Chain A
Amino acid sequence: MRFRIKDLKEFLDSSKINWLKIVETLNKKSFESYLKKEYLEVEILPNRFSDSGNIRGLAKEISLVSDIRFKDLKFKLHKVKNQSKEKLKLEIKTKELEYYSGRLILDIENKPSPKWLKDFLNFYKINSINFLVDLSNYVMIKIGAPLHIFDFDKINDKKIIVRDAKEGESFVSLKNNKFVLSQDDIVISDNQRILALAGIQGGKYAEVDLKTKNIFVESAVFNNFNIYRTSRKLNLITDSSYRFERRVSIKNSQLALDYFCYLVEKELKGKVIFDEYIYQQEKKKPEFINLRLNNLFNYTSLNVNHKDVLSILKKLNCRIIKDNKTSLVIQPPNDRLDLALEVDLIEEIIRLIGYDSINPTYPLQFNYPKEDFYLLFYDYLRNLLAQLNFTEILSYSFIDDNDIVNFKNLFKFKPIEIVNPNSNIYKFYRPFIFINLLKGVAKNLSFYNWLENKEFKFFEIGKIAFYEKNEINELSSLALVISLDNIEKNYLKIKGLLKTLFEDLGIENYQFNVLEHKNYEFEFISEILIDNKKTGYLLMPTYNLLKKYNIEQSVVIAELNLNFLINNFFKEKRFKTIFQFPAIFRDVSLVVPIYFRTNELEKEIRNICRDILERLEIIDIYYINDQEKSITFHLVFRNKKKTLRDEEINELMDNLIKFFKDKFNIKLR
C-alpha cells in the first residue's frame, strides 16, 4: 500500500523526519518498505492490515519503532436531538455480525468534492463520486474501517435489517451487476429490498447522490470468514471486502463513525442525531495473555530484562494485569487484533528489540540423520544412468488432452485433472513421465537440427499419479527414452540398457511380454515383468504417432515403477566367488530362416550346454538374402570345479550342431 508522506505527517509529532531511516527501520522491524518521491510504498503484512493498513495505523507503527511521537486526531462532535418524527428501526437477524453501529445525519448539503479530497482519493486509487461518498472513503483510508452510507429517504419503511440472505435471492450492485445469493451471505435490507451486500458493496436502491439530504451511516464489523467466502464466491473484491477479510477492530470502527460524522457536520452542514444505533454480539471477556519471561530466552537465547519488557509493553499500550517478575498477565490493546497468544507478544517484543541482536549458537542437540530410501535410490539410478551415457531431463509434471488420446491404450486408470490449469497444455498431472521426454526429444531435435548424428538418450526420475478406485495413487517412476534414426539399433540399445540396469540391481528373472494391440500407434507395446510382476512398459511409437510430436526419427521408450524396485531390489551387493579355472570359448554361426527368433536359439543352446555355459553373446547378425540370416554366437564355457578340456567342448559343440540340424534343419555357416 502507498502512503503519502504529507498524510503520515499529520499523525507524527515531529517537524523533521528522516524518512530514509524510517524506511530502514520499518524494513527490519515491521514491513518491507520503499521510499519513493513524496510517498512510502509499504507491504503491510496480512495479520497487521487491520491496524496498520491505514494512515493513522501506519503512523502509529512508525512511532512504535522510532522515537517520533504519535499525534492522534482531535475533533469534537456536536450531536442534536432528533426533531423529526421519522425514526429508524434497526433489526439484527444474523449471527455473522460482531458489531454494528449507525447514525442519522440530516439536512446535509451534498455537493461535488473539493480539489484536496479529489487529489487524496486519486492518490489512493479511489474514484471520486460526491462529497458524502468521498468523505466515507477518506475516513476508510485514514482510519481503516469501511463505512457505508444509505440515503435515509430511500429506505422503505425506515427499517434497516441486517440478515442472512435467502437462497436464490438477488442483489443489484451500484454498477448494475446482478448477483444471486445464498444463505451464507449477509445483506443489509429494508423491509422489501436488499440495500447492500454487507461489507462488500452497496446497492442501487438507497444510493447516495447529489440530491441526498438525509443519510444513515453504518460502521460495522462483519465476520471476516463470511466476507471472504462471499467475496470469492461472487468474485467481487472491493476495498471494503479486502479490509473486512483482514478484520476491522471495533475500536477503529467507532472512531471512523465519529470522525465521519464530524466531517459531514463540518464540511456539509449536516446535523448529527444524538441517538446512536448500536448492536454488539455478546461482549467477549477481554483476552488476557500470560507471558513467561523465560520464553523470551528460550526463543532467542537473548537475556531480556524485566525492565525492558515492561517499557516495550508500555509503548505497545498493553495493560499489565499481573506481574510477578518471571511472568506477566497482559491485556493487549484492543486495536491490535493480531495479539492473541503468548507467541504473538514474544514476536512483538523480539522484533522491537531487533532481530539483529540475536547471535548464532551452534546446534548442540545431536540427531543421527537418516535419509529417505527413495532419495538414496534416485541418486543411485542417476549415477548409474549417467555412467551409461544417459542425460537427466527435468520436465513439467503435466500433460494435455492430446497426450491422453495418443496414449489411451496405456491409460487403464483415470488421470488426475487440474481444475484450474495454467494453460490447456498443463491440464493433467502426468500418469507417465515418458510423454514429456518425447516432447524433450522433439525440442532438442529442433535445437540441434545441424547435428550429423542425432542420437538422444534421456531419463527422468519423478512422481506420477492417477486414480485407482477413486483414490490417488502416487508413485515414483523412471522413464528412459532413446531416439536415433535406426529402429532396430534403437530397440536393441534399450534392451541392452535394461539388461545392464537389471543386472546391477541383481534382477535375474525379467521378461518382456508383448501385448496384443489393435491400433496403429505403436510398433509394439511390451509389459516388463520382474519376478512375474508387472513393473513397467517397453514400447515403440509408430512414425505416425511420432509425427504428432514433431519427431521424424525412431524413438523407443521404457518406464519403470520404482516403488516395486526399491522394495524388492535396492540392496547392498554381496561378494561372489571369482572362479580360478580357465575358460574356453567357441564362435558358432547358424544359418536360419529370416523369421526365426533369436531367443528360441538362445533357449536351446542354454538348454544343451547347461551349467558350464558361462556367457552367451551374439556378435554378428548377417542377412544372407531375403530368406535366410546367419547369427554368430560367442560362447564362453567354464567349469567351476576343474579345468575344462578342449575335447569336452568339441564334443558338446558337435552335439549342439547335430541337435539344430535334426530339430530345425539348421546348418552351420
Chain B
Amino acid sequence: MESWRCHVRTELIQRDSSQKDPYSGVFRSLFQLQEKFEIRKEIWEDLQSQSLEQDGITFVELHLWLRESEHLSKKLSQTVSDLTSVLYFKEAELQYWQSQVSRYRREALSLAGGSNTLKATLNQQEFTLERQAKELAALQKEHVRLREGMVEAWKEKGELLQRWMEEKKEEAARVNKYNDAQERWRRLARRLKKQLRGETVKPSELTETDVTSGGKEATFK
C-alpha cells in the first residue's frame, strides 16, 4: 500500500482513538440511563395520577417491566427495519458491482481486441521494416560498387587525358618541325630563284615540283 494511503488510515484510527473511543462507551451508557430515567419518570407520573392503591409495589414493578419491554420491543423492531434496509442496500450494491464487473469485462474484451489489432499491425510493420532494411543493405552495396567504378573511371579518364595531352604535345612538335622544314624549303626556293634569275637558262618548274612532293612526305611522317 502506498505510504500516503497508509498514513491516512493510521491517522484516522489515531483520531478516533483520541476523540471518539474514550467517550463513546460513557456517552452510550449515559444516554441509556437518561432514557430509562425518562421512562420511569413518565410511568411514575402516570401512576401517581391514577392513584392506584391495590397491590402497591408489585403492580408498579409489573407496569415498569411491561413499559420497558414495550420500549425494548419498539427498539428491536427499529433495529429489524434498519437491518432490512441495510440488506436492501447491500443487494443494490451487489447488483451495482455485478454491473461494474460486466462493464469492465466488456472494456477488457474491447481492449484485448484492440491489442490484437495493434499486435498484427506491429508484426506487419516489423516485416516491412525488415524488407526495407534488406533493400537498403543491397542498395548500399550497389552504391559502394558504383562508387568504386566511378573512382576507377576517373582514374582512367585522368590517364587518357594525360596521354592525349602528350599526344597533342608530340603533334605540336611535329607540326613545328614541319613548319620549320617548310620555312627552310621556302627560303631555299627563294635563294634558288634568285640564282636562277641571274642565269640565262631557267629549269625552275622541275625544281619546284620536287620541293612540293618533299613537303607532303613530311606530313605523313
Whether chains A and B associate is no
